[in-house]
């Protein structure tokens, strides 16, 4: 089965209490696609970068067999740039800079070979661009999952609501769920967001795991307790990559399958935070993932 991933491909600069990176490979689509590439083979990326985007980063995508024919390169322009600083608890961060650069004028044109993708992950990106991608598909994908962030709620509210109304799953963090719904209780927030369109709501809660809401049903996936978190950047996107990778692999979008998807998401996210940037996602093996899934089973198994 095929997965189309749309989102930013970026330069990130990250500061945590444990250190600073220079400009490194980042972006929502980057993390989603790298995480999903451990589960499925047919992944297509739609994104835009500037002429400053190094070939060496494109080679990283190729090495993981990602289809990059839909990454548009704009010569003479700069790639999207984001920098952030984490507080000592690593759960909170300040955005220091968001420079849209090429993203400001991005008009995605999906290659013909992308338009039949069965699964679609709308990674964090300008809402109007997310919408243009949905509109270019030959058929509506079997499942559309969307991520977004407060930045777009502050700058593109109407466009955002319009895309939210078109998707099946909305995956946001708890502050975003609260801002979008105007409700503090996550249960109420999920109920309210369900009335905006998506049947499934995933609320990501960093080191406190993730919740899935569907109708009146709820499921909780913990985050793996780790001795040391080096860099939480991209955890939410790696989570989405694991989740969508699992659904695409099994081609099963039932609630039961989504519950497993949440655990796969949590597993991929737990690796992502173990090193700066995308480093850890590039080195893990199928066996590492299998072992971590077993750890998850042990973490939550009990009898009553
Ligand atoms: P996460 O830690 O999962 O929220 O994702 C971090 C990634 O999102 C970084 O690699 C950034 O390049 C990317 N990012 C940050 N701000 C934005 C934004 N406004 N739109 C799209 N992507 C963003």
Spacing of C-alpha 121 from chain mean position: 8
Which segments in the chain show pLDDT lower than 70? none
CA 28–ligand 1 middle distance (angstroms):
5
Query: Which run of H or E residues covers position 13?
Result: strand 10-16
- Where does residue 72 rank: exposed (0-12), middle (13-18), buried (19+ CB within 10 A)? middle
Domains and their CATH numbers in the chain: 2-300 (3.40.1190.20)
pLDDT of residue 90: 84
Q: Is the CB of 27 under 6 A from ligand 1?
A: yes
Backbone angles phi, psi at 119, to 5 degrees: -125, 145
- The tens digit of pLDDT for each residue in 77-130 reads 999 999 999 998 887 899 999 999 999 999 999 999 999 999 999 999 999 999
CA 218–ligand 1 middle distance (angstroms):
27
CA 27–ligand 1 middle distance (angstroms):
5
Return the best residue to mutate from 101, 149, 276 for the ligand 1 pocket (most ligand atoms within 8 A of CB). 149
pLDDT of residue 88: 87
Question: Ligand 1: which atom is nearest the Cα of residue 81?
Answer: 12
Question: Ligand 1: which atom is nearest the Cα of residue 26?
Answer: 10
CA 82–ligand 1 middle distance (angstroms):
7
What is the maximum span of the chain, computed from C-alpha positions, in angstroms? 63
């Amino acid at each position: 089965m095929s997965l189309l991933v749309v989102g930013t491909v970026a330069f990130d600069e990250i500061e945590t209490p444990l250190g600073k990176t220079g400009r490194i490979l980042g972006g929502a689509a980057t993390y989603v696609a790298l995480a999903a590439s451990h589960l499925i083979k047919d992944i297509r990326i739609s994104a835009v970068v500037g002429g400053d985007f190094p070939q060496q980063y494109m080679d990283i995508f190729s090495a993981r067999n990602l289809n990059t024919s839909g990454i548009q390169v704009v010569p003479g322009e700069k790639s999207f740039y984001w920098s952030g600083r984490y507080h000592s608890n690593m759960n909170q961060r300040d955005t220091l800079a968001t420079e849209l650069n090429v993203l400001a004028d991005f008009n995605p044109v999906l290659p013909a070979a992308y338009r039949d993708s069965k699964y679609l992950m709308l990674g964090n990106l300008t809402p109007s661009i997310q919408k243009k991608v949905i509109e270019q598909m030959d058929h509506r994908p079997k499942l559309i999952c969307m991520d977004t962030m407060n930045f777009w709620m502050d700058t593109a509210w109407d466009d955002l609501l319009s895309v939210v109304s078109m998707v099946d799953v909305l995956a946001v963090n708890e502050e975003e769920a609260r801002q979008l719904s105007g409700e503090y209780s996550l249960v109420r927030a999920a109920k309210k967001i369900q009335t905006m369109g998506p049947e499934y709501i995933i609320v990501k809660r960093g080191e406190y795991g993730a919740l899935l809401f569907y109708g009146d049903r709820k499921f909780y996936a913990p985050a793996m307790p780790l001795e040391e978190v080096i860099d939480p950047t991209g955890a939410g996107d790696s989570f989405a990559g694991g989740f969508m990778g699992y659904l695409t692999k099994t081609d099963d979008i039932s609630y039961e399958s989504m519950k497993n998807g949440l655990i796969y998401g949590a597993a991929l996210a737990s690796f992502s935070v173990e090193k700066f940037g995308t480093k850890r996602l590039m080195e893990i093996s199928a066996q590492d993932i299998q072992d971590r899934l077993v750890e998850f089973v042990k973490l939550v198994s009990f009898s009553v």
